[in-house]
Amino acid sequence: MDQNLNYNSGTMSRNVILALVISASVITLMSTDLYAPSLAHLPELLGTSAELVQLTVSLNLLAYGLATLIHGPLSERFGRRPVLLWGMAGFTLASFLCAIAADIGQLLFARVFQGIAAAVEGVVVLAIIRDLFTEKEQVRAVAIYGVATAFAPAFAPLLGGYIHVLFGWRMNFHLLTGLALAVTALITLFLKESGKKDHDALDLKEIYADYFGLLSNRSFLLYITIGGCSLGCIFVFITAGPFILINNHGVATEHFGYYYAVIVIAYIIGSLLAARMSGRHGAREILRAGVCCAVIGSLLLLAILASGWETPVTLTLAVAVLLFAEGPIFAVVPTLAMNTTDKRTGSAAAVIISAEMAIGSLAALAVSWTHDGTSLPMILIMLALVVIVVLAYLRSGR
């Protein structure tokens, strides 16, 4: 914990800063979930293919992951506050460009731009938590962050579905533009700097030393592999779920959000449980509980695949069990990973998010490339990701 003079050690001051950065993350995380119900309709509306529409999700996530490698050193050099403001301004513009996109090419460009800008928030949140909280407090803070940032995405597809039916898919991006403007104004007025500026942070030798040191750290790599593959399960469902539930099972566009809400609420419950466990159990114990739940969820998916009992309800419940497991996993993986290294906080946070997002977006790309109109590719990719999570967890304890 490295508290800057702009913040005292009081709980109120630190909670205010946490609330501000969480509000920024909530808006940026809604960028995909809000228009998820529209995905199944965009091929017809934009005169393109389902595979290209799915790329608006996977390329956005990939851009997000790669951009964090740049935003980490920037936040160390110029401070958390200015970099966060730049990111929110870029996100606002990108959301507006998405709203006025005339074809799939323009939408893909705007979504990549949106992902680059949105990446700032993830880096800044983890860096600020590390700046202001002790190790034990970090688990609780990250768990709260997970719950808060899950609430909006939980209900964003429900809201987005009704907006699509009433006003069209573009209105979802107009809404994001307005919300991003409001949050940017709040950050400008109330956010103070939490970290100390490092004038050597943009030195290429320093950046190389930081990143090489992190990527040479076996324990660090294993923990971000766990986080990345867990995130991949979420991205795979976000990418393929709307097509499976709406096109295959006939779920109404405006009702897709109800199924999605069940899944995200399961994640919220898992995050709340992790927050409660943090007072009595260590981070490794919490991680073990999450991995065990992920195995149970994957076995349920395998049972659905083998038995042919696939319905919107059974598929949703099985994925919900898997997402319940992500709550404990995401609550502790960042802390466990960053505590294996003494490198710059911003750089460590950037590598964690970049690597996890890269793994997750590659999983989303895989489900796009293997899209065959059924749930088979989605389920098989989720199973493979859980197997990797288990193997990485077992090796991380050695």
147 versus 181: which is more confidently predicted? 181
Determine the Cα–Cα distance for residues 362 and 237; give it in Å rounded to an integer. 13
Question: How much of the chain is in helix, strand and coil states, percent to nearest 5?
Answer: 85, 0, 15
Kindly report, residue by residue over 285-340, the tens digit of the pLDDT. 889 999 999 999 999 999 998 888 889 999 999 999 999 998 889 888 888 888 87
By residue count, the chain amounts to 398
Return the higher-pLDDT residue of 33 and 112: 112
Least confident range from 5-9, 147-151, 291-295, 394-398: namely 5-9
Q: Six-digit token pair at 309?
A: 């009992």
Q: How far apart are CA 278 and CA 138, in angstroms?
A: 10
Token pair 């938590």 in the structure block, residue: 129
pLDDT tens digit string along 123-177? 787 777 777 777 667 777 777 777 777 677 678 888 999 999 999 999 999 999 9
Whether 190 shows a pLDDT value over 90: the answer reads no
Structure tokens at 148: 């808060």
- Residue 5 scores a pLDDT above 50: no
* Structure confidence at residue 381 (pLDDT): 94
CB count within 10 Å of CB 365 equals 20
Q: What is the pLDDT of residue 385?
A: 95
Give the model confidence (pLDDT) of 249-285 as tens digits. 888 888 888 898 898 889 888 888 887 887 777 788 8
Residue-level pLDDT at 324: 92
230: pLDDT strictly greater than 60: yes
Distance (Å) of CA 104 to CA 54, 177, 190: 11, 19, 38
Tally of CB atoms within 10 A around 215:
12
- For 245, the 3-state DSSP assignment is helix
pLDDT value of residue 97: 97
Domains of the chain, by residue range, sit at 11-193+201-396
pLDDT computed for residue 3 by the predictor: 47
pLDDT at 100: 96
Which numeric CATH code is attached to 11-193+201-396? 1.20.1250.20
Residue 355 has pLDDT above 90, yes or no: no
Residue 114's pLDDT is 96
pLDDT tens column, 88-132: 999 999 999 999 999 999 999 999 999 999 988 877 877 777 777
Question: Any idea what DSSP says for residue 6?
Answer: T
- CA-nearest of 22, 23, 21, 32 to 234 is 32
Q: In sequence order, what are the residues at sequence separation of 6 or more whose Cβ sits closer than 8 angstroms to the Cβ of residue 115?
A: 59, 60, 61, 62, 63, 64, 67
So what's the pLDDT on residue 257? 85
- pLDDT (tens digit per residue) in 65-94: 888 778 777 877 777 888 889 899 999 999
Confidence (pLDDT) at 357:
81
Percent of the chain with pLDDT over 70: 91
For residue 261, what pLDDT is reported? 86
